[in-house]
Chain A
Amino acid sequence: MKKERYFGEFGGQFVSESLMNTLEELDRVYEDAIRDKEFLKQCAYYLKQYVGRETPLYYAENLSREYGTKIYLKREDLNHTGAHKINNVIGQILLAKRMGKKKVIAETGAGQHGVATATGAALFNMECTVYMGEEDMRRQELNVFRMKMLGAKVLCVKSGSRTLKDATNEAIRTWAKTAEDTFYVIGSAVGPYPYPKMVKEFQSVISRESKKQILEAEGRLPDVVMACVGGGSNSIGMFADFIEEPSVRLIGVEAAGLGIETGKHASAMALGKPGTLHGMRSYLLQDDDGNIQIAHSISAGLDYPGVGPEHAYLKDSGRAEYVSITDVEAMDALQELCRLEGIIPAIESAHAIAYAKKQAKKMKEDEIMIVCLSGRGDKDVHTVSDYISGKVEVR
């Protein structure tokens, strides 16, 4: 029994008893749905006609020339709503519909998942409430406004660190109260089973397309596949179809914030220990009493003290490597990508770009790397402007 709810020793269902039947029902409906041709057809339809898939696998000519290897960008930033988050939302909202739920709730950090959920709820005529930390609402004002325009209620979470961790706590509390008529749309590859499995499935379209596209463009698999990791949804989607391809190196890039050594970072894999939070057992940042520590990153979307359980498993099994990038390195890479390629990436995605620059230097000219450009940076222009004018503490 234990095995199927786990990735190695990670995952599980550390939730209150009142949610256990809900999770079991969800798993049953999900397993049924992904074997149902009609459901899959519906998903594919909305991903193509509404989200705008497939997204390009763009050969970044200038970046490649600059760093001496072939770098392809998987353009998830070109999705409707501006990030990969919508892929998963379409899947989960269609599931909610299948279960007859009329209300959805979601947590959000950077606001991209909140915007995606608000968008999906508008499309399918559902009532939507998004939980967001007060600190994140300040950092991501534009996304708060977008959610409201889309008809969602945004609830300001003022407990704890006032960021994604606490927004998730509040969403779980509300869900435990209202699970009888409410569907919880989790945005990252975290939470109790079956969520990590579902989010992976709905995001795996990223790697399925990438694999097909790189085979068309290069006639072979890439040498390296890379993505940023907060909770780990774009990365697990980017890795999914390559996990069984041993020749492909998988690299996840966490946020090192002000630097791992300062303690102000969000790299659960670098220094975290296994523990339980948000319904899962995984690597977490914890203090000496087992309390969860506050993560730090200039990017609201990576500012999470844990990581999805499958990533913890991929790390321990050695299949994937996890590295980290500081605020400064990410902001440099963000600006460099603007100038070199005319693309403004999200600060989250800029972490992957920053490590791609380092990795490229170790690679040969004809080797191939795919980097997931998980989202666009429009939401971040305020932060970038504050950073450039020295208003953000980064050291």
Chain B
Amino acid sequence: MENRIEQKMQDLRKRGEKAFITYMTAGLPDMAGCKALIKTQEEAGVDVLELGIPFSDPVADGPVIQNASYKSIQLGTNLKKVFALMKEVRAEGVKLPIVFMMYYNTALYFGLDAFVKECIASGVDGLIIPDLPMEEQEDIKDALKKEGAPILIELVSPVSADRIPKILENARGFVYCVSGMGVTGQSGNFHKEIYSYLSTVKNVSEIPVMMGFGIEQAKDVAPMKEVIDGAIVGSHFIRILEANDYKPQAAKEYCRTFKRELNE
């Protein structure tokens, strides 16, 4: 079976469409509410969903996602429960590609082989692990060799420079371009060399280039349209969910508008 992310990227390319990717912390407002939000986003035309596995020490995240993680852990969310949620949404027909955004220790503690087995069984399509640079990926890549395993999404930063070709060598799905230095959720604070950095990546990448960190509206990425294949929104999306009591309707409107404006 082909990987859902890669399939989606091909479809988008054929249609000449840019991807809209969202991030939300798993387990909020609760498991049932989280499930409803996943379905809503699929309906609203979100192309890939990043589901954040809450961790006690999210060093790559700014205050919004830190607080969301903290809340979710307090509610009892853990990896096992998120796997159960994944199984339910797949059984209920959700085809949306889903990526786990998680810190390495969560998978390590679970046991890498057991973790990958559960990912396969529950329909997880990809992994984003912000504290696992290419030098440390050997162990997880070994575990991910199994048939149907999720793909590891690679991240590059504005200061990756000569590391970029090496990082992209065997990258799959899409490449996640971090828009600035630092952590998630610093609105509009893109790196001063953002355009030339993204075009460098675009030039060497054989897979779609997605930009994330600090994006709120489709117009934020309009100047970069020529050099990216899509945008990722995390902290701002969570802010919208929180401001609207996690009601699916608000998520639907925001996602529809973003996806439409991104492709105008």
Least Cβ–Cβ distance between A159 and chain B, in angstroms: 6
Scoring A15, A178, A276, A289 by chain B CB atoms within 10 A of each residue's CB, the highest score goes to: A289
B46-78 CB mask vs A (1 if < 8 Å, else 0) is: 000000000111111010001000100100001
- State whether the Cβ of B45 lies closer than 8 Å to any Cβ in chain A: no
State which of B58, B105, B106, B163 has its C-beta within 8 Å of the C-beta of A20.
B163
B101 → A minimal CB distance (Å):
13
- Interface status of A385 (Cβ within 8 A of chain B): no
Write out the residue numbers on chain A whose beta carbons fall within 8 Å of the beta carbon of B155: 16-17
Contacting residues of chain B (145-171) with chain A, CB-CB under 8 angstroms: 155-161, 163, 167
Q: Do B182 and A2 touch across chains, with their CB atoms under 8 A apart?
A: no
Q: List residues of chain A with CB within 8 A of the CB of B70.
A: 159-160
Q: For the complex formed, measure the closest distance between the CB of A122 and the CB atoms of chain B, giving whole angstroms.
A: 27
Q: How far is the CA of A14 from the CA of B57 in the complex (A)?
A: 13
Considering the complex, which residues of chain A in the window 5-62 have a beta carbon less than 8 Å from any beta carbon of chain B? 5, 12-18, 20-22
Tell which of B103, B138, B161 touches A2, judged by Cβ atoms closer than 8 Å.
Answer: B138
Q: Mark A282-308, 1 if CB is under 8 A from B, else 0.
A: 001010111110000000000000000
Interface pair B104/A18, CB less than 8 Å apart: no
Q: Give Cα A179 to B158, complex, Å.
A: 12
- Asked if residues A13 and B79 are in contact (CB atoms below 8 Å), the reply is no
Given the known A-B contacts A20-B163, A21-B160, A172-B59, are A277 and B105 also in contact in the complex, defined by CB atoms under 8 Å?
Answer: yes
| Residue B188, interface by CB 8 Å | no
Question: Per-position contact with A for B105-117: 1 when CB-CB < 8 Å, else 0?
Answer: 1101110000000
A142 at the interface (CB under 8 A from B): no
Q: Within 8 Å CB of B183, what residues of A?
A: 173, 176-177
Task: Check A289 against B136 for contact (C-beta < 8 Å).
Answer: no
A-side contacts of B133, CB under 8 Å: 13-17, 20
Bound-state CA distance A20–B137 (Å) is 14
Q: Given A16-B130, A18-B157, A277-B105, A292–B135 Cβ distance below 8 Å?
A: no
- Which residues of chain B come closer than 8 Å to A273, judged between CB atoms? 109
Chain B, range 90-132, C-beta contacts under 8 Å to A: 103-106, 108-110, 130-132
Q: Which residues of A contact B157 (CB under 8 A)?
A: 16-18
For B227, what are the chain A residues with a Cβ–Cβ distance below 8 Å? none
Query: With A and B bound together, what is the CA distance between A2 and B137 in angstroms?
Result: 11
A290 to B60, CA, bound (A): 17
Q: A244 — which chain B residues lie within 8 A by C-beta?
A: none
What chain A residues lie within 8 Å of B73 (beta carbons)?
Answer: 289, 291
For A56-88 the 0/1 string (1 means CB < 8 A from B) is 000000000000000000000000000000000
B178 within 8 A of A: yes
- Chain B residues, CB < 8 A from A290: 55, 79, 105-106, 108-110
Shortest beta-carbon distance, B180 to chain A, in Å? 8
Instruction: Decide yes or no whether B181 CB sits under 8 A from chain A.
Output: yes
B181–A15 CB distance below 8 A: no
Select which of A2, A5, A17, A276 is within 8 A of B178 by beta carbon.
Answer: A17
Closest Cβ–Cβ distance, residue A306 to chain B (whole Å): 10
Cα distance A276–B60 when bound, in Å? 14
Residues of chain A with a CB closer than 8 A to B109's CB: 273, 275, 286, 289-290
User: Is there contact, CB below 8 Å, between B57 and A169?
Assistant: yes
Q: Are B135 and A275 in contact (CB under 8 A)?
A: no
- Could you tell me if A176 and B131 are in contact, using CB atoms closer than 8 angstroms? no
Q: Contact: B160 with A17, CB < 8 Å?
A: yes
Contact B57 A277 (CB under 8 A): yes
Pairwise interchain contact B60-A176, C-beta atoms closer than 8 A:
yes
A residues 154-172 touching B (CB-CB < 8 Å): 159-160, 165-166, 169, 172
Within 8 A of B (CB), among A98-137: none
Kindly list chain A residues whose C-beta atoms are within 8 Å of the C-beta of B163: 17, 20-21
Q: List 10 A-B contacts (CB under 8 A).
A: A14-B104, A16-B60, A16-B130, A18-B160, A20-B135, A20-B163, A177-B182, A273-B109, A289-B79, A289-B109
Closest 7 CB pairs of A and B: A290-B109, A177-B182, A18-B157, A291-B56, A289-B78, A276-B105, A14-B131
Chain B interfacial positions (CB closer than 8 Å to A): 55-60, 62, 66, 70, 73, 78-79, 103-106, 108-110, 130-133, 135-136, 138, 155-161, 163, 167, 178, 180-183, 186
